[in-house]
A and B are shown apart, each in its own frame.
Chain A
């Protein structure tokens, strides 16, 4: 309060006690037409993404592209080293004895797919992000224990302090507060 300048507001944070409460609240916020908002839960609440009206993840496409890249690079490497760069007859087999190249092709396909899954997930989620405005809230840290939250950002075109607060209070929130940016 001692600061003279007007503080910048990130948005409104509403707290809920149960998965059922946050689920129904998300349906209400979704139907009210908000877009810049999110919910925060200790665990992945089943179907909460649908209650929020979120689109499915695009991650499988990233993984698919990475997997194809990994497997084809591995096969190409084995073909090139065995037939072009250093052709040598081993155990009387043809230079390109592809059956023997299956294990390494498979393993590198899996390896790059896994990289795609993990780093693709982090990239889509913009993680790591060690600072976030929500951490300014004194109550928010309980999202990782037993509380459920909905945050509606001030930049949302439909955001209006009084009306949005009323909406959140009407969804059975146990506590609603403004969070600084």
Chain B
């Protein structure tokens, strides 16, 4: 096993792990990514139909919700924010890993991101769609959802720009728009590849329409690469602002358990943590089913696992620091809120959260676990569960025992709460299935650009060594 574990192929020039395992040509990369989406796959149909049936559950839940109103949910008097906000924060958080991979890792020149950024950005967009669903339907009258927008109206009234909920509207919709643009810009060269490979006129037209007539011109690449870098530079502060503002929904209120300054960084770390777990949940089966193991290598999975370990540990630190401050502040309401979180009515939810988010990622310290796709898949499921419970714990435990003991109550979800959550997973997986069926799941052009032969000073005939490699050259190489 140990010999299998440590067989990363090294780049002949840099001595670092090769991003495309084995020696492949550019055409092999095109073929590996494009072939699976040109021929239907029976496993794809199973995944798609399963997702579609879950999407049906969402449809039924929403129709019944619009018919009856939000009374079908388990909301009660102190707990007026239930699963809708829990699910909203959960899904927005999932999205953040996609932006981290596409933007932040790009700015840090982490070339390994090229194999995973396309699918993660798609995940971001679909997760944000799921997230936007919940604030829309929880209003009870979704046809008035445009009210937070500053549109002139017959009452001559404007939205309250001092409300964190309004900031949220701007933050999440900007995030969605920018993520979509970023994703589309990245797709343009690959859509051109799909157009040029298309066998049927319908496919050529559809891919050609969205490829915008891309012809790989260097005069275009100059502007394109600049646009891509600027978008990465914009998306980086944007993604940090989004979950910061989501955390303001809680932190700006006066409620013990919510009113804490640690919320913005703690929410951002948690978002990246949960998002990377979802990336693993999606990519581990995808790379096996579409035979992309040489592009999304074990090293890629290992790198993602390390980020999960880092952010998971940061989240654990935040949990501990919240408790420390609750005790150190000497505020009895604050101290009670946290004691109640750990040992109160919802003790089980708290301990599920801690075991999934703090204990599970620590297994990644073991190299054999972080290089095993199956172990990482199982681990990612635990993190997903844990991060959903984190939002449940924050929302419900803080609300159900607020200042006045006479108004305390216990919150229980109804079957409709559960079906809407299950249905949102149906929406997410259905969109992801459609994505992997019709669009390149890996950024073809970007992967080609990080292959050794993409360097204009690469010499294929002598395996990357300079023709006149004197003793000085060999020395310099050893030095690296």
Binding site for B on A (CB under 8 A): 18-20, 22-24, 26, 38-49, 51-52, 54, 56-57, 59-60, 63, 77-78, 81-82, 85-86, 90-91, 93, 97, 100-101, 103-104, 106-108, 110-111, 113-115, 117-118, 120-122, 124-125, 127-132, 134-135, 140-146, 149
Query: Given known contacts A44-B221, A90-B160, A110-B174, is B213 in contact with A127 (CB within 8 Å)?
Result: yes
The CA of A91 and the CA of B27, in the complex, are separated in Å by 63
Cβ of B227 and Cβ of A120 under 8 Å apart? Answer: yes
Query: Closest residue to B244 on the A side, CB-wise?
Result: A103
Asked if A113 and B158 sit within 8 Å, CB to CB, the answer is no
Q: Are A19 and B215 in contact (CB under 8 A)?
A: no
B196 at the interface (CB under 8 A from A): yes
Contacts of B220 in A (CB 8 A): 125, 127
Identify whether the interface residues of A are mostly helix, strand, loop, or mixed: helix
Size range of the chain B interface in the assembly: 35 or more
Could you show 11 A-B contacts with beta carbons less than 8 Å apart?
Answer: A49-B218, A54-B222, A56-B226, A57-B222, A86-B156, A104-B166, A107-B241, A117-B230, A130-B213, A143-B196, A143-B216
- Which residues 432-480 in B have Cβ within 8 Å of A in the complex? 445-446, 448-449, 453-460
| B297, chain A: closest CB distance, angstroms | 19
State how many angstroms separate the Cβ of A51 from the closest Cβ of chain B. 8
Roughly how many angstroms separate A146 CA and B454 CA in the complex, as a whole number? 11
Contact indicator A117/B161 (Cβ below 8 Å) = no
Judged by a CB distance under 8 angstroms, whether B361 is at the interface is no
Which of A19, A91, A103, A134 is in CB contact (< 8 Å) with B456?
A19
Instruction: Please measure, in the bound complex, the distance between the C-alpha atom of A124 and the C-alpha atom of B181, giving whole angstroms.
Output: 17
Chain B residues in 8 Å Cβ range of A135: 215
Are A19 and B454 touching (Cβ within 8 A)? yes
How far does the Cβ of A163 sit from chain B's closest Cβ, in whole Å?
A: 23
Cβ–Cβ contact B219 & A54, under 8 A: yes
State which residues 53-78 of B face A: CB under 8 Å: none
Q: B374 to nearest A CB, angstroms?
A: 33
Knowing A42-B26, A42-B448, A110-B174 are in contact, say whether A131-B221 is a contact too (CB < 8 A). Answer: no
Q: How distant is A35 from chain B, measured CB to nearest CB, in Å?
A: 12
Smallest Cβ-Cβ distance to A142: which chain B residue: B196
Give the top 7 A-B pairs by smallest Cβ distance, nearest first.
Answer: A23-B456, A121-B227, A128-B212, A146-B26, A103-B167, A43-B449, A81-B158
| Closest CB in chain B relative to A100 CB, distance in Å | 4
How near does chain B come to A179, taking the closest CB pair, in angstroms?
12
B444 to chain A, nearest CB (A): 8
What CA separation (Å) do A153 and B167 show in the bound complex? 52
Among the listed stretches B13-21, B231-239, B279-287, which one makes contact with chain A, having 4 or more residues with CB under 8 Å of it? B231-239
Q: Mark B201-233, 1 if CB is under 8 A from A, else 0.
A: 000000011001111111111111111001100
Pick the contact of A39 from B162, B209, B217, B227 — CB < 8 Å? B217
Q: In the bound complex, do residue A52 and residue B446 qualify as a contact, i.e. CB atoms below 8 Å apart? A: no
Residue in chain A with minimal CB distance to B459: A20
Whether, in the assembled complex, B1 has its beta carbon less than 8 Å from a beta carbon of chain A, the answer is no
User: How distant is the Cα of A78 from the Cα of B224 in the complex, in angstroms?
Assistant: 34
A45, B231: Cβ atoms closer than 8 Å: no
| Given A52-B218, A110-B234; A128-B196 close (CB under 8 Å) | no
> Is A144 within 8 A of B174, CB to CB?
no
Given A38-B219, A56-B222, A111–B161 Cβ distance below 8 Å? no
- Extra 5 A-B pairs, beta carbons < 8 Å, given A77-B150, A91-B162, A114-B231: A20-B455, A23-B457, A42-B445, A46-B456, A86-B158
Contact residues in B for A82 (Cβ distance below 8 Å): 158, 161
